[in-house]
Every structure is written in structure tokens, then in C-alpha cells.
Structure 1
Amino acid sequence: MSSEQQLASLFKAVEGIDQLLILPHNDPDPDAVAGAVALSRLLSAKTALHPIIAYAGMIGRSENKALVNYLDQPLAQLNDLVLPPAVPVALIDTQPEMGNNTVPAGSPVVVVIDHHPWREASALAPLADVRVDIGSTSTILTEYYQASGLEPDQKLATALFYGIKTDTLGLTRGTALADIDAFFYLRPRIDVDCLLEIERAQVPLGYFKSFDAALRAARIYDHRIVISYIGAMTYPDLAAELADVLLRLEGTEWVVCMGHYGQELILAVRTTRPAGGAGLLAQSVVGKQGSAGGHGTMAGGHILLWGRNPKATAARVARLVLKYLDLAPDLKGQPLV
């Protein structure tokens, strides 16, 4: 369907609804935040709805905090809300039964807007706009704005631009023509100075301590695979941040970075292989212990610890990673530093 048809389906999906809860995935990233805010403002402008945006988990990465502060848009912690029973839900950058969202019990999912691999449960939503061939949910929302005749203001344009930029790594990863078109539609409308402030947001001292731990714990296998367990993390996104850094090591094809937060072992998977496969690797090693998913070159997962030792669990995952990549599970890695 065209964006105009999808937009019409969106308005029909929320017709007759008194309240709508917009939920990005847990621990939302810039693409999820921008998409949620864009949908809220679009519906507020074109319908009688004034949706609530909420999220589960936390916004811990400094850049993501800076983006939320810049948008000046209320994003509530889901646990802090008192919601009406069975409030309808719009999922942004995630899908039903994906394992990385927290839909309130009894709430129907009426809208799904995402670009990750299709989940069958999404078919139950009146609007399921899932485009696996594009690189960013922000691209879809940008197209909605264009189809509606609305002009995103400078702050929203900056957020959508940043969402596309981060998810596609500056249009170099998993990028479609639609992403490029949206990117250059938004470019003249953004606040460049504020974007730079967001991208260069200062980080806490704990980030550098974790960075040091990640480097010291990292092991190199077969000259192309890096696995690191960084221990306790101050926020869930830290594993992904450090995985991105480790992927820059010369000759590296795969990175798996792990850490624990609360009662979960969190892993981030990255690959430089053109064929991708990060999502499949994450799903394979996590299995039924938790949830996992992602794109061809980047993925993540959560394993419920249930009181188990996180370091021992990470070591077990590392063996599964090596086995998946056709190496001996007991292969000894070489220290990175």
C-alpha cells in the first residue's frame, strides 16, 4: 500500500477510540523515540486523540537522554501510569510477542509500525505497517507526515533525521531508497547545532569504567570474533554501545558484548559480514531462555537469570556463540589488551 493508504488505515484503526497508549520498545532508542513522538503529534493534529507515550525499562544512553530532553515531549514510565482498563495500544519500532515491549494485560494492539522481521501476531492489529525492507521506523513516520500534508517542526524533523541516521548508520547499513528520500527531505528542516549537541552528549564516569572492563574482558577468537562480558551495567544500552566500539577492531567480523542489568543478561550482537545474520545468531544462542531479535548486522537479546550467576551464564552463551560460528565451544580466546 502507498503511504496515503497506510495513513488512511491508521486513522480508521483509531476511529472511535477515546484514548491511545503509544509504546516504543523497551529501553527505547532514537528511532523508537522519534517514531513515537511523531505518531503522537500526527494523531493530535489530525484526530481528536491526544495519545500518551510511555515506555518500559529506561533511557540510559546519554545521547538518548539528550534527544528526549530536546524534544520537550512527555514520555512517561509505564509503571508510573494509572491506565484505564484495556486501553488500546500503538506499538512503535516493535511488534506483538517480540519480547521487547510491555503491552498492558488486556490491552488490544490496534496499531503496529515497525521495520523489523514480521511477527504473525501483528496481523491481528487493524493497522500493521511493517516494512522489513527499510532501515528505520522514522522513515515510515516521515512518509506519513508527507502524505498528511503536515510539516514536521524543527525539533521533530531533527528527531526523525537522527532516528534514520542512527538505525542506518548514516545510510550505510540496511538502507532503502525510502530511507534516503526521507533523510534528504528532513535534512533542510533540522537544527544542526542541536543535533551535534545530542550526538556529542557527555557521558558519566561509569561509562569509562565499563569501557575499561569491556576491553580487559574481551577475547578474540579465530582472529575475527570478539566476545566480551562487562559485568554489571548501569543501563541496558551499554552492551550495544560497547559492541559498536569493539566492531571497529581491524579484521573483526563478529562481536558479542554481554553484561547484566537487574535480573537479566543482556547481549548485543554486531557483524560486518555483508550477508548479516546477527538476528539469527542472537535468537539461536538465547533460545527459550529469553527473547532476541534484530537486523542483519545488529541484534540484541535478553536472558532471564532467575538467580543464576550472570558471569557463568555469559560464559555459557559465549560457548554457544562459538559453536554457532563453527568453532570449538571450548576454544581459548586471545586477550584484546
Structure 2
Amino acid sequence: MPETNPKGSPTTATTEYLILGCGSIGYNVLSELLKETADIVIIDKDEHKVQDLRDQKYEALVRDIGEPDMLREVPAPRVAFILASDEKGNLAAVRSIKNRYPSAYVIVRAVDSGTVDLLTAVGADEVLYPQEVFAKKAVHHARKLQSSRQARRLYDLLSGWRGTLGIVSHTNPDPDTISSAMALCALGKAASKGNLNCRILYDGKIGHQENRAFVNLLDIRMERITPDILRECDYLAIVDSPAPGVNNALPKESHVNIIIDHHQNGDIAKNSADFVDKRPDMGATASLMTQYLRELDIPVDSIIATALFYGIMADTRCFRRNTTPQDLTLAAFLLPLTESELLEKITSQSVSQETLEVLGNAIKNRRILSGYLFSNVGYVRNRDAIPQAAELLIQLEGVNTSLVYGITDNLIAFSARNKDVRLNIGQAMEEAFEGIGDAGGHSAMAAATIPLTVFSLARNKDELLDLVIDPILRKFMHIVGIEEEATGNEI
């Protein structure tokens, strides 16, 4: 359908690109666009500049972009770049283009950060503040350089090792920590030319139905961690945990050689590891491991690719939580290498009867205070059902944070999910459980455990949980700023 001008007469002539303001930024945009097409119209108020452009055989017009008739006889652009250094002129040009050519995609330069919202409000599709663009580009390049250097450092370290590397996953391992361990095995074997034997170690249970399918279908070999196995390892690495003894079975005083993690909290400064890479700007540790493999040009077989892709997908909740552009880019790199049938089988597992019962108890026992949901699921054999319940309850209307807890034979387990941007649930949990247990996580999800020690012999675990839970919840409520007496929002 042809564009119409304000008088209603159709404007049938079109052009690919329209550039308003051809200073240094405009000229560089022009140079880039010319690699694609010469179908470009340029408008600038500087007569000498326009004449110079015409001498180079470009279609250029002398006009003030702030004038109402600036677009007379100008063909309808598919994309318009408004790049002058005149704040008022740029604002007027956005209005003029959107009034005359509503379907044109308008990219405009903000002269200062204060005009970004105003330019968006009058119809700009994309507002670029050059200083901010430069800052982001500079940081991106710095991070890319740092990532490349880290990958090479890790490769060089592993290349000199001989013997056995024990790779410790976090307690009750999930696809992110398992796939990261698999990738580190592949990297270690490639760097050492096959002279390094890698063993994946874990504690707890692999309880979630998809996690069990993940391990079984991909035929992942994992060993339960024991003191004897640790003594057989010449080197130790931790993946997806910030330090020894933090959500893993290692004693806190253990010396580890490698720590690779993506969580924001957790003190690793006291551990004299040979290599530490902690990237809270990534949605999954599997993303970080994928980046290593890609940076080092190490071949990724279909099993490891499938594992890493599913690890990223699971930890970002199908790319809907804490997902960064890096996660998406790295997942796209992996996707063509994956086994699609295996992925489908992993994600189509049935839910166990026990998990259904835990979910039912979580729904039945829920209590909401000021947008915070608390639920006691009682005694559980499958600890992985607790985070599944937290995932389910965060979706309830009016709930910004869910905290689900239950008791096993030897510990009290907590799992939290959060969508309140003002709260970092990982930091809140770490503060709430300081001195009484282990906790960690990031802004959207967190977990904590309290060992029962002498109370593990108690027969009635539900009564024990009722006895000890109140002071813990009160401390958490105090930290996040809610009071139990605020019953006006209680459900």
C-alpha cells in the first residue's frame, strides 16, 4: 500500500535509507550502508558538505531537518537515520517522518541522555546515545578479551597436568553443573593430549525426573564422592559452586585447583585456587564452559553439545530467566550440534507420585505475606521436588517471591524463586542463613540447607521442622522487610 502525505496524495517513490545529518556519525553510517546498497538519500543543512557528497555521486539535499517542509519530494524511506547534533532538530525530524511515513523505521541519535525518553515518546523506534553505545561496545570487547585470556589460561594449566582430576558438582546435581563437568572433562583431555583422567563426583540425589532422564539417556558416568575417591585425585575442580563446602560435599578447608561458577554470591577469596572464573553476567555455568570450548576451537561432540544446551536451557528456565545475549549466542552455537531426539526424550518425562504429593502440599500449605509466599511441604524423600514446588508457586498471581521448605533425614532444605527486581534473593538467603547453614544463588533463584546433626535421629521430622522453622523465617522476613503481623495481604 503506498504511503500518503498530509494532503492525502500518494507518494509512490521509495528509498532504502534516509540519512538526516551527515556529520562524522552520519558519514560513517553512510559508509557502512554503501556496502549493502547505493539507494540512499542524504539531507544536511551544510551546503559545502552536500556539494561534496554530490561530487561523490551521492543523492544529497540541502535542508534544515527541523523545518516542517524538510521532506518535500523526498521518497519514502524503509529506514531513516536521524543523526544530527541538534537536539531540537532531531526531535522535529522524528515527528515529521512518523507523520508523513508512519511505517518507516526511525533510528535517532540522542544528543544527551535526558532526551532518550522524549525521542521514544514521539515515535522513534530506536534511540542511540553515542556515549552509551561506545561504553557498551568497549565493555563488550573487554569482556571478550578477558574471556579469551581466561580460556587460554585454563587450557595452559590443564595441559601440564598428569594423573586424575576430580570434578565436583554441587549437591543434588542439576543439568547445569553436570554438563559443565562434562565440558571440563573434554577440555582437560584435549589440553593434556589424553594424559589427564577426569572423574565427575557428586553427593545427594539426582531426584528430578528430567535430571534422571538427562543422566541416563546421555549415559553420563558420575561417582558418589567419598574420602577414598578424593585421595585418589591429584587435582580438584568445582563447577557451579563458589567454594569448597558451599552446596557441595567438600570440606570447607579443602584445597581446590579450579573454581568455575556463575552465581553472584559466595566468598572464594580465601581459597588459593590456581584458576578462578566467576561470571555472574551469565545465566548458566554451562554457557561459560561452552564459551571456553568455542574460544579454544575444541570439537564438541553431540552428547556434550546436547548436555550443555539442556544445561543452559534448564538453568535459564527455557531462556526466560536471567538470560543474557551471551547465553542465547552460545545456545545457538550448540543447537546444530545437539541430538534433537535425545532433547525431546529428556524434556518429556512423567512426574513421580511423590513429586505430585509434594506439589500438592506446597499449594495447600501456602501462606502469602506482602507478595512473599511461604510453604512448608513437610518430610520429603526426593529433595528435588522442593525447587519444583517453588517454580510452580512463583507463577501464582500476586506472588513476587516464593520460599518452599521441607525436611529430609539429615537436613532442612529451602528453595526460593524471585521476580521482584528490587530483591536479590541469593544475597537475602545468604544473610538469613549465615552461621546456621549454607545458602547461595542469584537475583532470581536461591537455595539453602541446614544440617540436622544430632536432630537427625528424631523420629517425627514434621514436628522437628515446626519447632525450628519459626526463628529462621522471622530472620528472613526481617531481612526482606516484611512483618508476619501484616495480615492484610495474607492468603
Of structures 1 and 2, the one with the larger relative CO (CA 8 A, separation 6+) is 1
CA distance in 2, matches of 1:325, 1:19: 44
Counterpart for residue 35 of structure 1: 180
Task: Tell me if the contact between 2:358 and 2:386 (Cα under 8 Å) persists in the aligned partners.
Answer: no
Instruction: Give yes or no for the alignment of 1:323 onto 2:471.
Output: no
Give the 5 Å matches for 1:41-56: 41-47=186-192, 48-56=195-203
CA distance in 1: counterparts of 2:251 and 2:372, whole angstroms: 39
Of all paired residues, the percent bearing the same amino acid is 28
How far apart, in 1, do the equivalents of 2:360 and 2:252 lie? 41
Which letter maps to 1:18? G
Return the alpha-carbon distance in structure 2 between the equivalents of residues 245 and 316 of structure 1.
Answer: 26
Q: State the AA in 2 paired with 1:141.
A: M
**Amino acid of the structure 2 residue aligned with 1:236:** R
Correspondent of 2:235 among 80, 83, 88:
88
Q: 1:10 aligns with which of 151, 154, 157?
A: 154
SS in 2 for 1:124: coil
1:29 CA displacement: 1.0
**Per-residue CA shift, 1:153-188, capped at 9, x if unaligned?**
222111111111121222232222221210111122
2:343 alignment counterpart: 195
Q: Mean alpha-carbon deviation: is it higher for 288-297 or for 327-336?
A: 327-336
3-state SS in 2 of match to 1:273:
coil
Match of residue 128 from structure 1:
276
Query: CA 1:12–1:333 in structure 2 vs 1: closer, same or farther (change >3 Å)?
Result: farther
Rate the CA distance shift 1:98–1:107 in 2: closer, same or farther, 3 A.
closer
Contact 2:414 2:448 in 1 (8 A): yes
Classify 1:324/1:84 alpha carbon distance in 2 versus 1 (closer, same or farther; 3 Å).
closer
How many Å separate the matches in 1 of 2:323 and 2:230?
A: 37
State whether structure 2 residue 357 is matched by structure 1 residue 212.
Answer: no
Contact 2:366 2:373 in 1 (8 A): yes
Residue 178 of structure 2: SS of its match in structure 1?
A: helix
| Other-structure match for 2:85 | none
Equivalent runs, 1:74-223 vs 2, <5 Å:
74-79=221-226, 82-84=229-231, 87-97=234-244, 99-103=246-250, 108-117=255-264, 119-121=267-269, 124-222=272-370
In structure 2, the residue matched to 1:292 is 439
Return the offset for 1:249. 0.2
Distance 1:6 1:276 in 2: 31
Deviation digits for residues 123-179 of structure 1 (CA, Å, limit 9, x no counterpart): 621111111211111111111111222231222111111111121222232222221
More divergent stretch after superposition (7-16 vs 228-237): 7-16
Is contact 2:169–2:202 with CA below 8 Å preserved after alignment? yes
Which residue number in structure 2 is paired with residue 311 of structure 1? 466
Q: What's the CA shift for 1:97?
A: 4.1
Q: CA RMSD in A?
A: 2.3
Q: Helix, strand or coil for the counterpart of 1:109?
A: coil
Between structure 1 and structure 2, the one with the greater Rg is 2
Compared CA separation, residues 201 and 172, structure 1 to 2 (3 A) = same
Q: How many residues align?
A: 335
Aligned to 2:382: 235
- Summarize the Cα distance change of 1:80–1:99 in structure 2 as closer, same or farther, 3 Å threshold: closer
Shift of 1:327: 2.5
1:278 is aligned to 2:278: no
Per mean C-alpha deviation after superposition, the further-off stretch among 5-14 and 184-193 is 5-14
Cα distance between partner residues in 1 of 2:271 and 2:450 = 27
Corresponding residue for residue 263 of structure 1: 410
- Ranges in structure 2 where 5+ consecutive residues have no aligned partner: 1-144, 459-463
CA distance in 1, matches of 2:488, 2:200: 44
* Paired residue type of 2:288: I
CA gap of 1:235–1:122, structure 2 versus 1, over 3 A, is farther
**What is the SS of the residue equivalent to 1:120?**
coil
The Cα shift of 1:90 comes to 0.7
Q: Is 1:58 paired with 2:58? A: no
SS at match of 1:282: helix
| Runs of 5+ unmatched residues, structure 1 | none
Give the Cα–Cα distance (whole angstroms) in 2 for the partners of residues 334 and 217 of structure 1: 16
Say whether the 8 Å CA contact 2:355–2:382 is kept in structure 1: no
